[in-house]
């Protein structure tokens, strides 16, 4: 199946590159639809990074996929971030995962007294709980996945499509994008990380096309 950007369809061409204003009057909030969505997001991130403020720039949000190098480069310039990838590739962008750009929970009032569960149980916060006991950082990247059954008779390509959780004509390139490496480096890097099962699948997949 061929998957084309919405902006390539005539029904959406008039929307492409034309941001829609939303939110409070004069807030400057914009949304992009149809096409040039990544360009619009990068524009907003650049404005956020350049703005004069009393604190440091940070970002928090949720996306279906995160594969744009331009977006990742801008997120790495933030002082803190937490991005939830709810349909992401099997491996989120390595630079973000390995960064120390966690988002402080104290930056948002609703999260100030939220603490990670320990052993499946949350901390009980009372009037005399020290503030530092509840202070922590959210991970730069959180990825969620839908569980799916991989049938025994699925071919290697079908298994890889299931693992990367999105349609891709070239699973190896999709995983290389997530790992920020060249396709010919993927298998070696996966073995170094201990992801031997996935490395074996990719080895077999590439061998099947030779």
**Which has the minimum average pLDDT: 88-92, 176-180, 189-193?**
88-92
pTM score over 0.85: no
The confidence score (pLDDT) of residue 1 equals 47
**pLDDT at position 2 over 80:** no
Would you state the pLDDT for residue 205?
61
Q: Is residue 123 pLDDT above 60, yes or no?
A: yes
Predicted pLDDT of residue 174: 73
Q: Is residue 179 pLDDT above 60, yes or no?
A: yes
Tokens representing residue 100 in the block? 């120390």
CB 139 within 8 A of CB 102: yes
Q: What is the pLDDT of residues 15-71, one digit of tens each?
A: 888 898 988 988 888 998 888 889 999 999 999 999 888 888 999 888 887 888 899
Residue 202 Cα distances to 13, 15, 151, 161, 191, angstroms: 37, 39, 17, 11, 11
Tokens 């969505």, residue located: 37
Question: How open is the CA angle 143-207-169, to the nearest 5 degrees?
Answer: 45
Dist CA 67 CA 88 (whole Å): 9
């Amino acid at each position: 199946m061929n998957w084309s950007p919405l902006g390539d369809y005539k029904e959406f061409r008039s929307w492409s590159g034309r941001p829609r204003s939303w939110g409070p009057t004069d807030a400057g909030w914009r949304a992009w639809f149809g096409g040039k969505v990544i360009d619009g997001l990068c524009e907003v991130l650049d404005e956020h990074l350049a703005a004069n403020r009393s604190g440091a720039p940070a970002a928090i949000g949720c996306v279906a996929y995160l594969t744009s190098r331009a977006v990742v480069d801008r997120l790495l310039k933030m002082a803190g971030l937490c991005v939830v990838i709810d349909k992401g590739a099997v491996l989120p962008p390595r630079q973000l995962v390995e960064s120390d750009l966690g988002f402080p929970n104290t930056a948002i009032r609703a999260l100030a007294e939220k603490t990670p569960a320990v052993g499946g149980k949350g901390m009980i916060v009372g009037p005399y709980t020290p503030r530092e006991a509840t202070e922590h950082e959210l991970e730069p990247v959180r990825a969620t996945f839908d569980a799916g059954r991989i049938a025994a008779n699925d071919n290697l390509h079908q298994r890889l499509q299931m693992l990367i959780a999105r349609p891709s004509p070239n699973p190896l390139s999709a995983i290389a994008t997530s790992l920020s490496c060249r396709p010919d480096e993927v298998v070696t890097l996966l073995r170094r990380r201990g992801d031997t099962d996935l490395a074996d699948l990719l080895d077999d997949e590439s061998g099947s096309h030779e």
